[in-house]
Structure formats: C-alpha cells, structure tokens
Amino acid sequence: MNLFKRIDILYIVTLLFLLLASNANFLDANIYWIPIEVFMFVVAIARRSLGFKDVKVIGVFAICYLLFVGVRDIFINNLEVDYLLSDVFFLLKYVFLSFIFCVILKEKVATYLVKVAIPLIIISLIFFVFQLLGFGHNIYLLSEALHLPSQGVASDEYANFLFYTYVGIHEFRNSGFFWEPGVFACFLIIVLLLNLFLNKFKFDTNSKIIIIGLISTVSTTGYLALLLVFFLWYRYKVPQIKMGVLVVIGLSIVLIFTIPFLGDKITGVFKEDMEQLQPKKLTDAQRYLSHAQDKQIHVNRFASMILIYNTFGEDLILGVSNDYDVILNKTYSVNTSNGIFDFMAKFGLVGYLFVLYRYSRFCMAYLGRAELLIYSIIAFLIICTGEPIVHLGFVLMFLFIPLAQQPGTTINRSGLNRVK
C-alpha cells in the first residue's frame, strides 16, 4: 500500500499523455490507446476528479461537435457515412484524451507537463549525442532488439523506441520522442511558454534545458518561434522598448534572411514547393514512388497550403472531414505538412479559430496584456504553420485547460489557485 501511495499517478498520466500525443510510437495503435484512455478515466473517477461540471462541459462540447460534423459531412459536403465515423473517432481518440487529461491534472496541467518534459528532453539530448557521433544506426538496432514497432513506414532509416526517434535523413537533428525534429521543436515552444508562465518569465534551469533541446532540433519553425518567445519575455519584463532592443530586432531580421538554415531555407522551400506543384512534377513523383516503400509524395508547408486550398476552396470555412486526405489523394497520394491548413481541412477555419481562442484565453490569464498575448499568438501560428500538430493532444488540451481558470485566480509557481 505504501508503495502505491508513493507513486505519483499524475506523473504517470502526464507521461502516457505525452507519449500518445507524440503520434510516433507503438502506443498510438488502438490496441494500446484504448486501454490507456480507459485507465485515465478510472484514475479520474478514483481521484474524484470528474465532477458534474466536467461531465456537463464535455457533454455540451460533444453534442455541439457531433451536430457540427454531422450537418457538415452529410448535408453540406454530401459525404459518405465513413467520413462521419472518422470524425466521431477523432472525438473519441484525440478530444476525449485531452479532456480527461485536463480533468485529472486540473490546475497542475502546466506544472506536470514541464516536469515530465524535462527528463524526456534530457534523454533525447543523450541519444542525440550518440547520433552525432555516428551511432544512429545502433539506435535503430536497439529499437529492433526491443521489438518495438514504429508508426509509419518500416525502414532502417527510421525507428522509435518510445523515448527517442531515430530518423536517418535528419542525422544531425534531434527528433526527441516525436516523429521528426520539427514537431519536437513545436512541442518545446509550448513547454517553454508554459515554464515561463509558471515562473513569471524567469529563465530557470528548466528553461535552459528546453532551449538547448530546441537548438538541437535545427528547426527553422522552432527558431523563428523562439525569437518571438524571447521578445515576449523582454516585453513582459520591460514595458518600454529601448533603442538598443530595436537594433537587436533589426539585426535579428537581417540574420533570418542571411543565415542559410533560416532565410535561405524558407525561400528555397518556397521555390521548391512552387515547382513541385506542377502537374508533371507530381505525376513523375507519383510514378517513381509507386515502386518505393513510401508511396506518398511529401509536400512542404507552402505546397501543402496551396494544394489544400486549391482542392477544397471555400469548404475550408467549415472543413471537409478528419479523413479529408482520402479526397485529396484521389489524384495524387500526398503527405501534407502545413498544420493550420491540415486542421482547417479537418474542421475548418471555424474549428481552428476556436482552438486559437481557447489557447488565447489560457495565455491571457498569465500575460494580462493584449500586446503580450499577440506575441504568444504569433508564436503559436508559426509552429502551427510549420507542422501538422493542431490535432495532437498537447495542442487540443488548450480546449479544456481554461476550465481551471475561474474568475478570481492568482498565478503562482505551482499553478492556478482560487483566491479565498
């Protein structure tokens, strides 16, 4: 009994939540995901965390969600029932998971996300060092020895063993426990913001570890968002902008357009995307990949945006379906990478703005000023544009985190507390 009392169940729940949210390991398979979500519901009931108010919230949300996708899929988009079932499955797998996680952790959500993320970042840095030293394939062999299947195409250039992912084409980048470095960088931006919120924008040891982890991803998206976070930190600490800071901002902008893996990469990706979208290029790529293991054409963020917009047009206001890629891939089999347009194709501009509103409401409780909120929103838009992350748990949790922020709350190191 004493052993169970010593177990930090909140830590275990948070770890499971993050591993599922990574969408990269074998736990994402339904055979594992369903028992984990059931386990979380049991924990919520055992801890008496699931109250009438919480049931009412998820009940109203589920009813509104089902009415929205039902009317949209069947009566507006005239889709088959399979598409509606996919949207219902999204509610059960992703939304309910984020809800029950927030119900269990309540005001400790941010605290435990940082607490659990730090060891995961350290583990990733250790394996990343081995990867830099040329032992990347040994990491793959370790995954094979543990008999842990990875999400995605089976390949000796990709392996995930729960706490770290080896991606051969990203030999000099840290993927962490996600499926690729860019997504890990997006996650780290969220964790860095949470840690700064909890510490009233003090750069403590945790912040330094997060930033080191972020640097190791060599992610353009992550670096751009990090610049916004630094400026947010400065404006939080110094209400008035000084001339020296304006100079630094100017130099930063110049660096963005001169450093090869920032400015050159952005313009290079854009040009490559414009060429890739030509019908002949897509046809040639499709013909080539038909004989390869991975039969999808991987398109970058700009091409993804244009391809999705050209395919669905005004349907992006309400979205198409969680299974929109089935329609998108009728001509060419593509793998998109623009997170905002991916989510808009799933649930429309309406759905994305709702997520953005809930995120903004959470941030505003810590920031208190509209100007600071704008910077946090821009950072959020940057990471969402860079990678398809909006459907993942560490973003969808913002739908329900504000439930802990009742009127009359104060912020301290351990989270949100009611003023008595």
Domain residues for the domain of 240 are 2-269+338-418
Answer whether residue 288 is part of any domain.
Answer: no
Report d(CA 130, CA 171) in Å as an integer.
Answer: 10
Work out the end-to-end distance of the chain between its first and last CA atoms, rounded to an integer number of angstroms. 34
Report d(CA 16, CA 28) in Å as an integer.
Answer: 11
pLDDT along the chain (420 residues), means of 10: 64 95 84 91 91 90 96 94 94 94 92 96 94 80 68 66 84 90 94 94 93 94 92 85 59 56 54 54 49 59 83 93 87 76 95 95 90 93 90 93 53 38
| Residue 350 Ramachandran class (φ > 0 left, ψ -120 to 50 alpha, else beta) | alpha
pLDDT of residue 403: 62
Answer whether residue 28 is part of any domain.
Answer: yes
In this prediction the pTM is: 0.85
Answer whether residue 307 is part of any domain.
Answer: no
Answer whether residue 314 is part of any domain.
Answer: no
Q: State the virtual CA torsion across 294, 298, 304, 308 in degrees, nearest 10.
A: -30
Answer whether residue 290 is part of any domain.
Answer: no
Answer whether residue 248 is part of any domain.
Answer: yes
Structural domain count, the chain: 1
Answer whether residue 224 is part of any domain.
Answer: yes
Answer whether residue 236 is part of any domain.
Answer: yes
**Residue 370: CB partners within 8 Å, gap ≥ 6?**
none
Report d(CA 173, CA 214) in Å as an integer.
Answer: 10
At 312, give phi and psi (nearest 5°): -110, -20
pLDDT of residue 27: 84
